[in-house]
Amino acid sequence: MELRIFTEPQQGGDYEDQLRLARTAEDCGYGAFFRSDHYLSMGSGDGLPGPTDAWITLAGLARETSRIRLGTLVSSVTFRHPGPTAISVAQVDRMSGGRVEFGLGAGWFESEHTAYGIPFPDVRGRFDALEDALAVITGMWRTPEGQTFSHEGPTVTVTDSPALPKPAQTPAPPVVIGGHGPKRTPRLAARYADEFNVAFSGMAESAAQFGRVDQACADAGRDPGSLTRSVALTACVGKDEAEVARRADAIGRNLADLRADGLAGSPAEVVERLGRWREETAVERVYLQLLDQGDLAHAELIAAEVMPQLG
């Protein structure tokens, strides 16, 4: 089981905070550093100093790290017009030497759209835009050099695009799709995704969604085993109960809830819970949501005392 770091900079944190955590993650041997793609804080925290753009941040990290993989969980299609996004992500992939993974979703947080003047279509419109964006972005990346790419869909038309630049990875960076939708989301994953993610859900709910994705793959003639299963869970780990409680308090979360829904407790408790996740969902990859970006010792503890026991 691979562990990755996932952070939420919109809750409060600037580029330097993310750089320190990404470098710590790299030094500790985590598989990747991922961040959210949001423009407004939610829940606890005042969001100061303000949001950082996901792909501008990842471009910087691409040049200031050397081994760790980088990505979004997940970018919102409402923020990212397909053609320019294909260019931006391909460029960051080249800047990183081929370490980018591209997460894309339909978007859901209406308040951040109204706060920054971003149109927010209805659910059907957002999923139409997501399907178009996946077709355009992956189509551009996979179009051979010297050929052009065209697409006509319900939300975007592309005509004779040179489809440049190409990403460093061939044929394209891995695509991550996630969510809880019972029909359209699994179909899009079966068609476009290299990885499917279920975020902040229980084992039974996650297993059910993975089953729907497997069925969509089978219906599309794709081997379900070719799609990586992943989950995102809030982490709150400590060497003793006092340290666990201190970390829960620092992020404004109830420890009992974290134990029930996330990965909270001692390293031994977390290893046991991850084993249950593996048994019940066949998950291969876990994104550890670390909400206190300044607590580098948290990431170091998990790497030292949890990661080596996962095989």
pLDDT in tens, 99-121: 999 999 999 999 999 999 999 99
Supply 17's token pair. Answer: 């905070």
Going by C-alpha positions, the residue among 1, 60, 73, 14 that lies closest to residue 272 is 1
Is the distance from CB of 169 to CB of 93 less than 8 angstroms?
A: yes
From CA 290, how far away is CA 25, in angstroms rounded?
11
Q: Which residue has the tokens 């997940």?
A: 74
* Cα angle 275, 68, 91; round to 5: 130
**Within 10 A of 97 (CB to CB), how many other CB atoms are there?**
13
Instruction: Give the pLDDT of residue 43.
Output: 78
From CA 249, how far away is CA 238, in angstroms rounded?
12
Element at 29 (helix H, strand E): none
Instruction: Give the pLDDT of residue 111.
Output: 96
Q: Cβ contacts of residue 50 below 8 Å, gap of 6+? A: none
From CA 261, how far away is CA 183, in angstroms rounded?
25
* Cα angle 264, 104, 83; round to 5: 155
Q: Cβ contacts of residue 164 below 8 Å, gap of 6+? A: 87, 145
pLDDT in tens, 234-258: 999 999 999 999 999 999 999 999 9
Task: Give 282's Cβ-side CA count (13 Å radius).
Answer: 12
Going by C-alpha positions, the residue among 19, 15, 14 that lies closest to residue 5 is 19
Low pLDDT (below 50) residues in the chain = none
From CA 106, how far away is CA 184, in angstroms rounded?
11
Instruction: Give the pLDDT of residue 46.
Output: 80
Strand partners, 198: 231
Peptide bond into 82 cis (omega under 30): no
Q: Widest CA span of the chain, in angstroms? A: 61
3-state secondary structure of 166: coil
Is the distance from CB of 160 to CB of 150 less than 8 angstroms?
A: yes
From CA 170, how far away is CA 165, in angstroms rounded?
12
The identity of residue 86, as a single letter, is: A
Phi, then psi, of 72 in degrees rounded to 5: -120, 145
Instruction: Give the pLDDT of residue 47.
Output: 86
Supply 117's token pair. Answer: 């003047």
Peptide bond into 171 cis (omega under 30): yes
Element at 176 (helix H, strand E): strand 175-178
Instruction: Give the pLDDT of residue 210.
Output: 98
* Cα angle 231, 235, 239; round to 5: 140
Peptide bond into 74 cis (omega under 30): yes
